[in-house]
Amino acid sequence: MKAAIVLCILTFTAMFSGCLGDNNPPDEGKKYLIITIDAEAQTPRQSTDHVQRLIYGNFSDGRAGIIEMMDEADKVNEKLTFFVDVLEDTLYPGEIREVLHTIHDRGHDIQLHQHPWLIPSETWDQWENTPEWQQLGASRNGNLNCWDNGTAEFIFGEMMSIFDEENLTAPVASRGGSYHYNEAILNAMMKYNVTTSYNYNPPMKPEYFDEGVQPLFKWSNGMVEVPISYIPKTFGNELDRFDETYWEVSDLDAQIASYFDSSTGDAVLVMIFHSWSFLDKVSLDSSEYFEYKDQSKIKDFAAFLSNMPPDIEVITASELNQKITNGEFQISTEFETEEVSNHC
């Protein structure tokens, strides 16, 4: 039965639904922003040196990638959250682990991201011959939305083992490539204490699970969903995803205020961009590549950080997870995980 379990009643604006609990409510007016970067080196987006070019933005005539992102954030004492496609360790052995250490050593946040269609066939072959794979009854599938319980549990275990092997802080959040997820993934995440999901994106994936724009909500297995943020356009009823297009807006205060004005109490604004967002998109042989052009997007990002409204607190996914654990958010809207059981 498709229904939200609402444990209390509170009037929201037309844009948001849900409610905040009566016990230990968060401070009125607290406004949080999480700046998230999907760090990935997809093979179709470059011809060679994928990690160097698509994550570090390193080209012969200049560099504009995650180092520059962290440099600009450090200047204003803010922390970024990187959702790293750690499964690409199977494609670029050692290089992705170096990326993890580069981010960790700078004190920024690392969470999980995954594009399993990039996993080489040799890796699938090796996995299929392990006792764990066979015990779980896992199956080879490059589509996240088609994973069964065994496949999701095995592959999340593989991702988490990288953090153990590298002695890095275990992630607490995950975002599937192209926002793909399902019940099996939500359950596997909970098994490994990855307790916040950054997948719900109804304007992009309405065929998945669509309850409109939502504040933070819970899944029935205890997972907390942090929805992708959309901001009302100045005119009309359409929504804009909060991404790198907002680096250049002249009325940033008004745009951000429009998001928080549409919610009640504490709210979380999630910004989305990629490790290649400082590069320029070019078309080559029917493919979209990313190439270094100049430093202009670095300057745009720096201006965005410097012009942040004073009432906005930038936090990381790890910090949000801790606030939820501490009871600073009373999340009272819940949906059944079985509603996202199969998207194949």
Closest-CA residue to 264 (of 4, 7, 20): 20
Cα–Cα distances (Å) from 249 to 5, 243, 281, in that order, read: 38, 11, 20
**Mean pLDDT, the chain, integer:** 89
pLDDT at 296 over 70: yes
State the pLDDT at residue 187.
98
Contact predicate 63/57, CB 8 Å: yes
Written as six digits, the tokens of 335 are: 């949906």
Cα 253 to Cα 306: distance, rounded to the nearest angstrom: 12
Domain spanning 5-340, CATH architecture? Alpha-Beta Barrel (3.20)
Quick: pLDDT tens for 9-65. 233 333 333 333 334 444 555 899 999 999 999 999 998 999 999 999 999 999 999
Quick: pLDDT tens for 247-267. 998 889 999 999 998 875 567
* Cβ neighbours of residue 71 closer than 8 Å, sequence gap 6 or more: none
Quick: pLDDT tens for 115-147. 999 999 999 999 999 999 999 999 999 999 999
What is this structure's pTM? 0.90
Chain-centre distance of CA 168, in angstroms?
19
What single-letter DSSP state applies at residue 203?
A: T
Contact predicate 222/190, CB 8 Å: yes
